[in-house]
Chains A and B, each alone.
Chain A
Amino acid sequence: MATGALSDRDLALKSVRLRKRTLEIIYHAGAGHTGGSLSCLDILNLLYNRILNVSPETFGEPTRDRYVQSKGHSVEALYAVLADCGFFPNSKLETLCHYQSPFVGHPTRKIPGIEMNTGALGHGLSISVGMALAGKMDGAPYRVFTLMGDGELAEGSNWEAAMAAAHYDLDNLTAIIDHNTLQITGPTRDVCSNEPLDEKWRAFGWTVATVNGHDFAALTEALSKPAEPGKPTCIIANTVKGRGVSFIENTTQWHHRVPTESEFQQAMRELDVAEAKLKEAAE
């Protein structure tokens, strides 16, 4: 995407619209991971509209940046962002989770813009290490990004990959943790605490930055900063699960709950108000 084409305010407005679209497709499909999609949506919006060197036209090029969504269950946010970027028509998302639709509940390479089939947790980082290694071997300029859930970090394979990334000096690799602190059973600190996260990643040889995962300026700074030579980068993005809808925010039960008709209408009203405020501020 054209770097810097959208201001932070443009991105904020786009995020509200993408949140509405995400809820629409989940509501329409009767399935989806609402809380986690809303927590990572600002990160995805920023990646595809400001950071990643990839577009529908360049997706087949070997030098494109790669994005692997390790927390595959938040695919509805990814679908909304990819459709908005023109990878496929928005109308295709009406088939989400329908019989024989390619738009299934986790990412697959059948969908334009998606690099790998993910959804089983703890896989994306190893895959990304492989892609980053290939880039180094080829002397290619691309960067590799992966988005992981904080609950997902209990999978041991992540730490195998974290070790290898540091061992191979993969400064072309960035792992973003969607640190919304909730998983399906409850708060991650109660399920099986992974704190202190930053110290763990540093101990594994990574450069670590902790940022507000809904702050476009802070995220941009962390994601555009040149990597420390020879070190992979971990960005711990503090997020709010269900971000943007008052009754969905910070609730465990909205991990994969689908809104009822009245909940859907209420959520849309809230997001309409947010959209109007942003537009008003822009004028």
Chain B
Amino acid sequence: MSAPAPSTFTPAAQAMAEKLGLKMGRANLDEFGATLMELAKADPNIVVVTSDSRGSGKLGSFGQALPKQLVEVGIAEQNLVGITAGLAAAGKKSFGVSPACFLTARSLEQIKNDVCYSDVPATLVGISAGVSYGALGSTHHSLHDLAALRAIPNITIVVPADNFEAREAVRAAAKSDHPFFIRFGKAPMCHLHKPDAKFAVGNALTLRDGDDVAFIGTGETAVHCLLAAAHLAERGLNCRVLSMHTVKPLDADAVLRCGRECRAVVTAEEHSVHGGLGEACASLLLQAGVNAPFRIVGIPDEDTVTGAQADIFRHYGISMDGLAATALALMKNA
């Protein structure tokens, strides 16, 4: 089956997705719910904590199948994180699940101290992240979470770009003895990887190789990078595309290779341009003395425009056309 049109794609991008043979999967949130259920059935020590969020977190069937492994705390995100930390400290493999906007802002101090400073094996899952709740306004956007959590030691940050990455990230978190933050959106995701792909935390996955422009995308933006690269290939440019699923620890080698081997680097993220993937890459490149032409594509520092996630992506150039235009402008001025 060729990819049905997710709302994120323009007709031209949709046509390119079909040309590339991209198949549509499900929302990463659904993949998360199914994966966690599978893991928790095999390991009764896995416990999930929700804050009136089991529906949004796709954990309704988890709650029905494994009621003793689900702790509901009501609309109380600070308590959710503290309890998730306490469960982990007492030997449980705990997953605290709440909308990313509330989880990483209201409960930031609990994340910093109870989870990260205490360094317990707890995983925090930010659901409906970025602008998944785009039309609901800024209260429901999480465009600060990567910046906030990047500045806190001991936590691994993963933003999966497709169902495979989502599944593998949840499995990696379940095996870890340290804190994890994983962030998911609500929209269906294209499968980006071949069946033999190997996932490892901290290792970027190459979606396409080339040495003209390097696109480094994370999460829901990665597919748009891939489409932009394919679009630019029709203009004779060979572009590299990395899915940088792990924002921290960053795959420094992969980023530096982009800067050294390619003529320009463009990063893309569903996050503020401040403090996220782009600035992480910029800092790394600059401090290594790699001065490739460089652009960060993300949500600028302004009152974020509202609408569907796809509207917001297009508004800020997180799209095949937008990213290709950014890359071309960068090459022109290089």
Given known A62-B91, A123-B113, A161-B79, contact A128–B86 (CB-CB < 8 A)? yes
The reply to whether the CB of B220 lies closer than 8 angstroms to some CB of chain A is no
Contact with B along A97-119 (1 / 0, CB 8 A): 00000000000110000011111
Are A134 and B87 in touch, CB under 8 angstroms? yes
Are B78 and A126 in touch, CB under 8 angstroms? yes
B88-133: which residues lie under 8 A (CB-CB) from chain A? 88-92, 94, 109-110, 113-114, 117-119
Contact with B along A132-161 (1 / 0, CB 8 A): 111101100000000000000000110011
A66, A119, A128, A137: the one contacting B92 at CB < 8 Å is: A137
The reply to whether the CB of A47 lies closer than 8 angstroms to some CB of chain B is no
Interface stretch, picked from B67-75, B137-145, B244-252, is: B67-75
Are A126 and B91 in touch, CB under 8 angstroms? no
A73 vs chain B, min Cβ distance (A)? 14
Are B90 and A130 in touch, CB under 8 angstroms? yes
Q: A128 to B114: give the CA distance in the assembly, Å.
A: 11
Are B119 and A109 in touch, CB under 8 angstroms? yes
A27-84: which residues lie under 8 A (CB-CB) from chain B? 62, 66, 68
Q: A66 to B91: give the CA distance in the assembly, Å.
A: 12
Q: Which residue of A lies closest to B81 (CB)?
A: A126
User: Given the complex, which residues of B lie within 8 Å of A127, measured CB to CB?
Assistant: 82-83, 85-86, 89, 114
B228 vs chain A, min Cβ distance (A)? 44
A131 vs chain B, min Cβ distance (A)? 4
Are A164 and B87 in touch, CB under 8 angstroms? no
The reply to whether the CB of A236 lies closer than 8 angstroms to some CB of chain B is no
User: Given the complex, which residues of A lie within 8 Å of B86, measured CB to CB?
Assistant: 68, 116, 126-134
Q: Which residue of B lies closest to A162 (CB)?
A: B79
Q: Which residue of A lies closest to B44 (CB)?
A: A137
Are B82 and A117 in touch, CB under 8 angstroms? no
Are B76 and A160 in touch, CB under 8 angstroms? yes
Q: A161 to B92: give the CA distance in the assembly, Å.
A: 19
User: Given the complex, which residues of A lie within 8 Å of B74, measured CB to CB?
Assistant: 160, 163-164, 167
B209 vs chain A, min Cβ distance (A)? 44
Contact with A along B54-77 (1 / 0, CB 8 A): 000000000000001001011010
B267 vs chain A, min Cβ distance (A)? 33
The reply to whether the CB of B285 lies closer than 8 angstroms to some CB of chain A is no
Are A137 and B118 in touch, CB under 8 angstroms? no
B47, B91, B110, B119: the one contacting A123 at CB < 8 Å is: B110
Contact with B along A151-186 (1 / 0, CB 8 A): 000001100110110011000000000000000000
The reply to whether the CB of A218 lies closer than 8 angstroms to some CB of chain B is no
Q: A156 to B109: give the CA distance in the assembly, Å.
A: 13
Size bin of chain B's contact surface: 20 to 34
Interface of B is mostly: helix
Q: A117 to B79: give the CA distance in the assembly, Å.
A: 16
Are A133 and B83 in touch, CB under 8 angstroms? yes
Q: Chain A CB within 10 Å — which of B78, B86, B94, B119 has the most?
A: B86
The reply to whether the CB of B84 lies closer than 8 angstroms to some CB of chain A is yes
The reply to whether the CB of A6 lies closer than 8 angstroms to some CB of chain B is no
Q: Which residue of B lies closest to A140 (CB)?
A: B90
Are B113 and A131 in touch, CB under 8 angstroms? no
Interface residue count for A (Cβ, 8 Å)? 34
Are B90 and A117 in touch, CB under 8 angstroms? no
A125, A135, A168: the one contacting B90 at CB < 8 Å is: A135
Are A130 and B82 in touch, CB under 8 angstroms? yes
Are A161 and B82 in touch, CB under 8 angstroms? yes
Given known A131-B90, A134-B92, contact A116–B79 (CB-CB < 8 A)? no
The reply to whether the CB of A120 lies closer than 8 angstroms to some CB of chain B is yes
Q: A115 to B78: give the CA distance in the assembly, Å.
A: 19
Q: A134 to B87: give the CA distance in the assembly, Å.
A: 6
Are A134 and B91 in touch, CB under 8 angstroms? yes
Given known A127-B85, A130-B94, A134-B87, contact A119–B79 (CB-CB < 8 A)? no
B50 vs chain A, min Cβ distance (A)? 12
Q: A120 to B114: give the CA distance in the assembly, Å.
A: 9
User: Given the complex, which residues of A lie within 8 Å of B81, measured CB to CB?
Assistant: 126
Are B113 and A120 in touch, CB under 8 angstroms? yes
Are A117 and B110 in touch, CB under 8 angstroms? no
Q: A82 to B79: give the CA distance in the assembly, Å.
A: 28
Residues of A within 8 A of B (CB): 62, 66, 68, 108-109, 115-120, 122-123, 125-135, 137-138, 156-157, 160-161, 163-164, 167-168
| Given A120-B109, A127-B114, A157-B78, 18 other A-B residues pairs in contact with their CB atoms under 8 A | A117-B113, A117-B117, A120-B113, A126-B81, A126-B83, A127-B85, A127-B86, A128-B86, A130-B87, A131-B89, A133-B86, A133-B87, A134-B87, A160-B76, A164-B73, A164-B79, A164-B83, A167-B74
Residues of B within 8 A of A (CB): 47, 68, 71, 73-74, 76, 78-79, 81-92, 94, 109-110, 113-114, 117-119
Could you give 29 example pairs across A and B, Cβ below 8 Å?
A108-B117, A115-B89, A116-B114, A116-B118, A119-B113, A120-B113, A123-B82, A123-B113, A123-B114, A126-B85, A126-B86, A126-B110, A127-B82, A127-B89, A130-B85, A130-B86, A130-B88, A130-B89, A133-B71, A133-B83, A133-B87, A134-B90, A134-B91, A137-B92, A156-B78, A157-B110, A160-B74, A160-B79, A164-B73
The 5 closest A-B pairs by CB, nearest first: A130-B86, A126-B82, A134-B90, A160-B79, A160-B76
